[in-house]
Amino acid sequence: MTLLLGIPPMLAEFGLGRRGQLAPIGSLRRLGGTAWARLGYVFVAAGLMILAYYSVIAGWTIRYAIEAVLHGFSAAAGEHFGAVASGGDAVAYHIGFMLLTILIVIGLAIWATTLDGAGEGYAVYLKPDLDELKSPTVWRAAAAQAFFSLSLGMGAMLTFASYLRRDQNLPESATVVAFTDFGVAFVAGLIVFPVIYSLGLQGAVGASTVGALFIALPSAFEAMGGAGRVAGLFFFVTLAVGALTSAISLLEVVTASVMDEFGVARRKAAIGTGAVITALGILPALSTDTLGLMDKIAGELLLVAGALATAVLAGWRVRGEVEAELIAGASPFWARQVPRILGVLRFAAPPIVAIVLFFSVRETIAAFTSYFAG
């Protein structure tokens, strides 16, 4: 998914952004016309909604970092997470958030190899189960993760590309970003899965990424004793810093769009949009069910829809302009790859993303039904 649906759409956003020289709405209007500007509004809505609940999760990381210093991690990690994941404290940490990672990850990965039962976790993580490829849910989840992790379909790459110099090698940049992101995520899996199976947390964590982060790892740090408190402190602090930098990129999409569309100064735009996002984020801070629903809408449905529309626009509607933009600044090697990447963007990416979008729509409707029925 990273190769097929990560690099080509990222290059599409790079090309559209640097060619348009504006935030998503303005760039798409300039290149594709008024009708395509509506896609920019989808990008802005996705970024706004994602940041509203993303900051809630980041608030949890700050709390866990503080607890690592004050009294360590709870032995009943699942029950403790349930207590801190919603309510007044979650709101407070969410609002506070709005206002060494590699070394730790590698160290944890080495430590994970020494755990009893780690082999079972590695087997689950690394041994292929081709029957899973028959499940549309797996494909949808993989695509949604690729889009979310690479910040595609929300206008972030498009916005930042509008600030790049003309001599920036966009194909090389997209490839480096995609493989670096994948590499870090892969190493993180080498930590999380051995921990889950060594400590018998399969039932508590289930299929939840959040569970792996806020239940499995704190349990591992607690099992490590005093060293775990130190490792946990640095882990959650650096995680919070990573979350903060991601939040800045999301807020920039919304802020830059308001500046372009309404002629508002950056200070007013940042404060105004930040206040709206903070207010919206109180809802998922009070309820993890609401957070999950918002993630379905923005983190899966809107991102996939945005990526599909971007592929159509860059691959068909303004292909010549995007191709010229991607070749500009590229080395001879990468310039030769641009037509091939655009071929994937034109012919392979749209049908695959369209299928993923179909299942995303179906699951979002089911999530809506379950949420309001409950």
pLDDT (mean) for 133-150: 88
pLDDT above 90 coverage of the chain, percent: 47
pLDDT at 157: 92
Q: What is the mean pLDDT of the chain?
A: 88
pLDDT (mean) for 272-279: 94
pLDDT (mean) for 98-107: 61
pLDDT above 70 coverage of the chain, percent: 96
> Which tokens is 111 given?
């430590």
> In CATH, what class is 2-373?
mainly alpha
pLDDT at 27: 93
pLDDT at 207: 57
Give the model confidence (pLDDT) of 15-65 as tens digits: 999 999 998 999 999 999 999 999 999 999 998 999 889 888 988 988 998
pLDDT tier at 209, thresholds 50, 70, 90:
low
Q: Report the phi/psi class of residue 119: left, alpha or beta, with left for phi > 0 and alpha for psi in -120 to 50.
A: alpha
Extents of the domains making up the chain:
2-373
Give the model confidence (pLDDT) of 65-86 as tens digits: 888 888 888 888 888 888 888 8
pLDDT at 105: 54
pLDDT (mean) for 185-191: 86
